[in-house]
Amino acid sequence: MAAVNFKYWNDCVDPQDLEAMWRDPGVKEEWLNVGETMGSKVHLSRDPDGQPYLTQTEMKKPLATQYNKKSKDCMMGIMQISPKTAEWLVRDLSYPTYEVDGNSKLLYKAFVNVYLGAAHLKWLSNFEQIERSEEFMVRAYKGGTKKATHKSTLKYWHNYLSVKETLPTRTVFKVAPLPNALSASSTAVSTRKRTNPAKITWDSRTSPEDMEEMWNNANVSKEWNKSGEKRGKVRLSHDTEKRPYLS
């Protein structure tokens, strides 16, 4: 299996999805402002340490909506959750943090989408009260539990493994440096001193509306208040080596 290069958007999405992103006024403006050009490979956004990340504008667009003709489901957002699955998770599996019933547009919000996607994976990990393998979870997430061992989901599993091989080793709540990342060099050390990533805030990375929604979330506001965060100056969580991560 070939390794996947995550330096460019072209390596992450299909050509038609990339074209759709260029047609989005917000994404197009953001890309043109940083020197990207249509017809050329589009770089992933990069943080002060040279590590790739997705901006709020970019996260709202990739694979935003796909219609499954067979199941008649509309898959939405970065985790490709259908409104029907989201409503089931909230209603029957007690994940009521975000009320999506009748408000499917919430699924375009990246943190809502990832939260419900993770909830679905957790359910799949113990499907029918049996501890399931990673392969079962990945293939069932793509094609449903009945297709977890079907040849139709095998390619998806292979793609997943190919992507996984390119990622750094991770531990709980920590992200190791990417291979050949600037953080491994003395140049990056001086860069971190200049940019001081420890001072990067949530407020500088997300919209005021999303910040307000997070402050209104009881669990998030409790954690932020406990760590002394103030509105307008919410620091990103950092691990022991000053690398940002999400709690």
- For 215: left if phi > 0, alpha if psi spans -120 to 50, otherwise beta; the answer is alpha
Question: Model's pTM, two decimal places?
Answer: 0.49
Spatial distance between the Cα atoms of 224 and 228, rounded to a whole number of angstroms: 6
- Please state the separation of Cα 211 from the chain's center in Å: 17
**CA atoms 175, 229, 50, 109: torsion sign:** positive
Residue 9 has pLDDT above 60, yes or no: yes
**pLDDT one-digit tens code per residue, 131-188:** 999 999 999 998 899 999 999 999 989 888 887 776 655 443 343 443 443 333 333 3
- What distance in Å separates the CA atoms of residue 237 and residue 173, rounded to the nearest whole number? 10
Residues 6+ apart with CB under 8 A from 45: 34, 52, 53, 54, 55, 58
Q: Compute the radius of gyration of the chain from its Cα atoms.
A: 19
**What are the tokens at 236?**
């990103």
- Do the Cβ atoms of 168 and 176 come closer than 8 Å? yes
Provide the pLDDT for residue 128.
93
Length of the chain: 247
Per residue in 36-92, pLDDT (tens digit) is 898 898 887 776 666 666 666 665 555 556 666 676 778 887 788 888 999 999 888
